[in-house]
Amino acid sequence: MALISTTFTDITDVQRKQLEALWELYTDWNSKINVISRKDIEHLYLHHILHSLGVLKILKFAPKTKVIDVGTGGGFPGIPLAIMLPEVDFVLVDSIGKKVKVAESVAQSIGLRNVTTHHTRIEALKEQCHFVVTRATMPLAELVKLSRHLVSKEQFNALPNGFIALKGGNLEGELSSFAKRAMEEDLYPFLPDPYFKEKKVVYLPL
């Protein structure tokens, strides 16, 4: 939590309290449902919450932007982003109902009014958004194929509408089919912990 405060120095008292509340909520849910690996729950803030905020290295979404989080699991990256960007609307989608239930419960518990959830497969979703975000759920080409119908043509952000994915390791093969359209950024030292040295955030305009 301290690393989040030092990386994002403009967080408000409300946001700080919401972030702090996530520890008890996720550890409690994790004791009932395996939302986060049992070995990894102790690294909740570093591996999950701060990692989710790596999306902001590419773009801080403008107010009234609508973002769909594909394969959200228990709410990553959607919930940490929704805390940091209260004027942006986040739609959290997953095909596993019990994980959607966790995300919905956590959002309600900390008073997030800019989060809605859907238990469905992404290709069946009918909503429109400005950006699709995801955290290592599937290869980028598959993500684009399954969710490009979600992305609206209405533009008002600093970057064109499209896809933002948190990834790890060598992405040369995965990004090769997109020529030079995909933008790949290292998360370190934007997120100043050695854990992020192999982590990246990828942006692909539609």
Annotated domain spans of the chain: 1-205
The predicted structure's pLDDT at residue 157: 98
Residue 123 annotated as binding site: yes
Q: What is the pLDDT of residue 78?
A: 98
Residue 151 per-residue DSSP state: B
What angle, rounded to 10 degrees, do the helices at 13-30 and 97-109 form? Answer: 140
Residue 168 annotated as part of some ligand binding site: no
Q: What confidence score (pLDDT) does residue 136 get?
A: 77
Residue 185 labeled ligand binder = no
Whether 76 has a binding-site annotation, put simply, is yes
Residues 146 and 123 sit within 8 Å (Cβ to Cβ): yes
Amino acid code (one letter) for 54:
G
Residues 1-205: name the CATH superfamily: Vaccinia Virus protein VP39 (3.40.50.150)
Question: Could you list the pLDDT tens digit for every one of the 206 residues in the chain?
Answer: 888 988 999 999 999 999 999 999 999 999 999 889 888 999 999 999 999 999 999 999 999 999 999 999 999 999 999 999 999 999 999 999 999 999 999 999 999 999 999 999 999 999 999 999 999 778 899 999 999 999 999 999 999 999 999 998 888 888 888 878 999 999 999 999 999 999 999 999 98
- The answer to whether 122 is a known ligand-binding residue is yes
| Residues 67, 41, 44, 108, CA torsion sign | positive
pLDDT value at residue 175: 86
* 27 contacts 70 by C-beta, under 8 angstroms: no
